[in-house]
């Protein structure tokens, strides 16, 4: 893989050290969201800020050699390390530590605000983290980038606001039209499975059974619950997922587990020789290319595979045996129930058609936040107005509205568009994947064509390598039309 060149070997050694610091910080972040007691918050924020400063200091002092190698792995390593150092040298350590501490505290205030259903409890923290992230983006952006472009680049390298606008503006009217049509065709198809009692422990056990069938290695991971489902990677052999609780509906926890397992398969599937090369959030060679490709994996498993009839032909009898409430439900009824199209308030519980509208709402709001066109204190009002406009619904409280996602508390402005871009990519990949119901064959195809490479290739390079073209939304629209025509005639 990597050459024996002494400069490359020295750079690898340094990269491994940076990865170790990054992973140690990630353990603190995971614990904060899963197990940390409430009173541990302020001290944890300081700890994470110290780790961020240590990481940053090591990065700016990194020595990157001139390498004449033609080895693609050598070249990719040098390229990614140069990027990391270039970004680090633009931001002072003081600001790095401020962002880390502010994000940690903001995440804690977000949790409290969501529990209390009161955005006001989170507003000050959000104002602070937004201000700091804008400050950083101004330092990072090139002369050809907007501030928001620099934020997008953190999650999908090279992505621009203009590119997102171009895709979303073309897609929006088609999704709205299709959602209106399918809303009536799928009406009440889920009435037999909602508002029942589903044991929480059994939900997790069954979810893990599905995750294992997908290929998630439980000896290299674990499942916990958190305020918002997520996947976190410490190494190829330690990729953890979380889900959340819903006693009255089987779908939220189950599909969260499938979604997060899709992310985890990507991380566990990276070539082991690239382990300890995942550096920071989206840096180095050891993780996924960017969040668009990462989300394509989770959305592919969650929706295209996980909501298909052939998938549940394998597991429905087992599901029924675990949950007596489903005893009288037929496979056909269940498939329709997990594929209902209807306006909803919560993004992660949205159907495949309206999901894109949830993302567009967030994209439009955060663009205006970053540009100064919207004030943080006005967010609940703006959020509610957009939900009324796009989905015909108004949240009854902030927990079901502007507080439902954790991302802004982390300072993750620019992340949301990758969910929809990833959804589009998933359909494009599906067109090229083997036509089989064997999950092992599907997983190995993904591993061979995507996972193993880590960040060696860019999203566009890999997509073109696999499908012969860059992102093309037509495959997603074709997939939706064909699927719902088959289900609802």
Which residues carry out catalysis?
260
Dihedral of CA atoms 396, 401, 404, 409 in degrees, nearest 10, equals: -130
Closest by CA to 439, choosing from 332, 254, 315, 255, is: 315
454/446 Cα distance (integer angstroms): 12
Neighbours of 31 (CB within 10 A): 12
9/398 Cα distance (integer angstroms): 52
Q: Residue with structure tokens 């499938």? A: 258
197/292 Cα distance (integer angstroms): 35
318/192 Cα distance (integer angstroms): 18
Contact indicator for 247, 433 with CB cutoff of 8 Å: no
Using CA of residue 282, residue 285, residue 288, residue 291, what is the dihedral sign?
A: positive
Q: Collapse the DSSP code of 180 into the 3-class scheme (helix H, G, I; strand E, B; otherwise coil) and give the result.
A: helix
471/345 Cα distance (integer angstroms): 28
Contact indicator for 137, 151 with CB cutoff of 8 Å: yes
- For residue 252, what are the contacts with CB-CB under 8 A and spacing of at least 6? 244, 246, 348, 349
Structure-block tokens of residue 74: 């050598």
Alpha-helix runs per DSSP H in 341-473: 355-371, 379-391, 417-432, 439-449, 459-467
Report how far apart, in Å, the C-alpha atoms of 333 and of each of 178, 309, 327, 427 are.
22, 11, 12, 25
338/303 Cα distance (integer angstroms): 10
């Amino acid at each position: 893989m990597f050459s024996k060149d002494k400069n490359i070997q020295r750079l690898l050694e340094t990269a491994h050290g940076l990865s170790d610091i990054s992973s140690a910080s990630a353990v603190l972040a995971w614990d904060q969201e899963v197990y940390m007691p409430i009173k541990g918050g302020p001290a944890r924020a300081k700890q994470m800020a110290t780790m961020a400063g240590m990481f940053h200091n090591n990065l700016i002092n990194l020595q990157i050699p001139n390498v004449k190698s033609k080895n693609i792995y050598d070249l990719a390593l040098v390229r990614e390390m140069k990027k990391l150092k270039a970004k680090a040298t633009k931001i002072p350590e003081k600001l790095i530590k401020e962002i880390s501490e502010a994000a940690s505290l903001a995440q804690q205030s977000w949790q409290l605000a969501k529990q209390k259903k009161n955005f006001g409890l989170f507003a000050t923290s959000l104002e602070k983290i937004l201000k700091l992230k804008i400050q950083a983006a101004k330092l990072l952006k090139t002369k050809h980038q907007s501030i928001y472009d620099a934020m997008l680049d953190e999650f999908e390298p090279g992505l621009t606001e203009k590119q997102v606008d171009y895709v979303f503006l073309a897609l929006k009217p088609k999704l709205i039209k299709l959602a209106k049509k399918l809303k009536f065709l799928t009406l009440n198809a889920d009435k037999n499975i909602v508002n029942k009692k589903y044991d929480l422990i059994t939900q997790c056990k069954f979810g893990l059974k599905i995750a294992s069938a997908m290929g998630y290695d439980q000896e290299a991971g674990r499942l916990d619950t958190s305020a918002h489902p997520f996947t976190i990677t410490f190494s190829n052999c330690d990729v953890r997922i979380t889900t959340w609780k819903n006693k009255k509906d089987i779908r939220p926890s189950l599909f969260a587990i499938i979604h997060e397992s899709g992310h985890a398969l990507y991380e566990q599937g990276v070539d082991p020789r690239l382990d300890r090369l995942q550096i920071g959030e989206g840096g180095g060679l050891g993780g996924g290319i960017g969040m668009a490709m990462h989300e394509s994996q989770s959305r592919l498993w969650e929706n295209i595979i996980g909501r298909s009839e052939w998938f549940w032909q394998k597991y429905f009898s087992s599901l029924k045996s675990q949950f007596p409430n489903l005893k009288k439900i037929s496979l056909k009824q269940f498939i329709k129930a997990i594929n209902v199209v209807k306006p909803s308030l919560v993004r992660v519980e949205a159907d495949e058609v309206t999901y894109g509208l949830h993302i567009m709402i967030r994209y439009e709001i955060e663009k205006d936040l970053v540009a100064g066109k919207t004030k943080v204190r006005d967010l609940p009002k703006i959020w509610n107005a957009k939900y009324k406009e796009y989905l015909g619904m108004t949240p009854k409280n902030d927990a079901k509205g502007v507080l439902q996602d954790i991302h802004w508390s982390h300072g993750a402005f620019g992340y949301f568009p990758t969910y929809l871009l990833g959804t589009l990519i998933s359909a494009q990949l599906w067109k090229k994947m083997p036509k089989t119901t064997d999950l092992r064959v599907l997983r190995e195809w993904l591993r061979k064509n995507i996972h193993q490479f880590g960040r060696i290739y860019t999203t566009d390079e890999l997509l073109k390598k696999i499908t012969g073209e860059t992102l093309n939304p037509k495959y997603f629209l074709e997939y939706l039309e064909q699927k719902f025509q088959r289900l609802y005639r």
